[in-house]
Chains A and B, each alone.
Chain A
Amino acid sequence: MTVAVAPTLAPTRSRLRPGDVLRVGSLGLRSRRLRTSLSTLGVAIGIAAMVGVLGLSASSQADLNSKIKALGTNLLEVAPGQGFGRGTGTLPDTAVAMTGRIGPVTAVSSLTTVTATVRRTDQIDVGITNGIGVFAADPGLLDTLHAKLADGKFLDAATAQYPAVVLGATAAQKLGITSVGDGLRVYIADKWFDVIGIMQPVAAAPGLDRAAVVGLVTAETYIVGAAIAPATIYVRTADGATDAVSGVLASTINPATPEEVQVSRPSDALAAQQAASTAFTSLFLGLGAVALLVGGIGIANVMVIAVIERRTEIGLRRALGATKAHIRRQFLTEAVLLAGAGGLVGVVLGAIVTAIYANTQHWQVVIPPVAILGGLVAAVIIGGIAGLYPAARAARLPPTEALRSN
Chain B
Amino acid sequence: MTAALEIVDVVKTYPGEPPVVALDTVSLRVDQGEMVGIVGPSGSGKTTLLHIIGTLDRPTSGEVLLAGVATANMSDRQLSAVRSQLLGFVFQQFFLLDGMTALDNVANGLLYRGVAPSQRRKEAAEALERVGLGNRMHHVPSKLSGGERQRVAIARAIVNRPAIVLADEPTGNLDTKSGVAVMDLVRDLHSEGNTVIIITHDRELASSLPRRISMRDGRVESDERDVQVETEMAAS
Q: Do A6 and B111 have beta carbons less than 8 Å apart?
A: no
The interface-forming segment of B72-80, B130-138, B191-199, B226-234 is B72-80
Query: Which residues in chain A, 361-406, are within 8 Å of chain B measured between CB atoms?
Result: 398-400, 403-404, 406
| Chain A, interface residues (CB within 8 Å), range | 35 or more
Q: Is the CB of A15 within 8 A of B80?
A: no
B89's closest neighbor in chain A, by CB? A319
A321-B81, A321-B83, A323-B76 as given contacts; A16 in contact with B114, CB under 8 Å: yes
Residue of B nearest to A31 (CB): B99
Knowing A5-B70, A9-B74, A399-B57 are in contact, say whether A322-B112 is a contact too (CB < 8 A): yes
**Residues of B contacting A119 in the complex (Cβ-Cβ under 8 angstroms):** none
Query: Please, how many angstroms separate the alpha-carbon atoms of A229 and B100 in the complex?
Result: 87
Provide the bound-state CA to CA distance between A31 and B47, in Å. Answer: 31
B112 and A3 contact, CB distance less than 8 A: no
CB of B28 within 8 Å of the partner chain: no
Q: Pick the contact of A4 from B8, B69, B76, B84 — CB < 8 Å?
A: B69
- Asked whether, in the complex, the Cβ of B56 is within 8 Å of the Cβ of A400, the reply is yes
CB-defined contacts of A315 to chain B, threshold 8 Å = 95
**In the bound complex, what is the Cα–Cα distance between A313 and B108 (angstroms)?**
12
Among B65, B68, B78, B112, max chain A CB count under 10 A is at: B112
Minimum Cβ distance to chain A for residue B127 (Å): 14
Q: Kindly provide the distance from the CB of B234 to the nearest chain A CB, expressed in whole angstroms.
A: 29
Contact A6 B8 (CB under 8 A): no
Closest chain B residue, CB of each to CB of A16: B112
- Cβ of A400: which chain B residues have Cβ within 8 Å of it? 51, 56-57
A321 contacts B57, C-beta separation under 8 Å: no
**B81–A14 CB distance below 8 A:** yes
| Given pairs A4-B68, A16-B111, 15 additional interface contacts (CB within 8 A) | A1-B8, A9-B71, A10-B82, A12-B114, A14-B80, A17-B117, A20-B111, A20-B117, A27-B97, A312-B95, A317-B108, A319-B89, A320-B156, A321-B83, A322-B84
Chain B interfacial positions (CB closer than 8 Å to A): 8, 47, 51, 54, 56-57, 63, 65-71, 74, 76-78, 80-87, 89, 91, 93, 95, 97-100, 108-109, 111-114, 116-117, 156
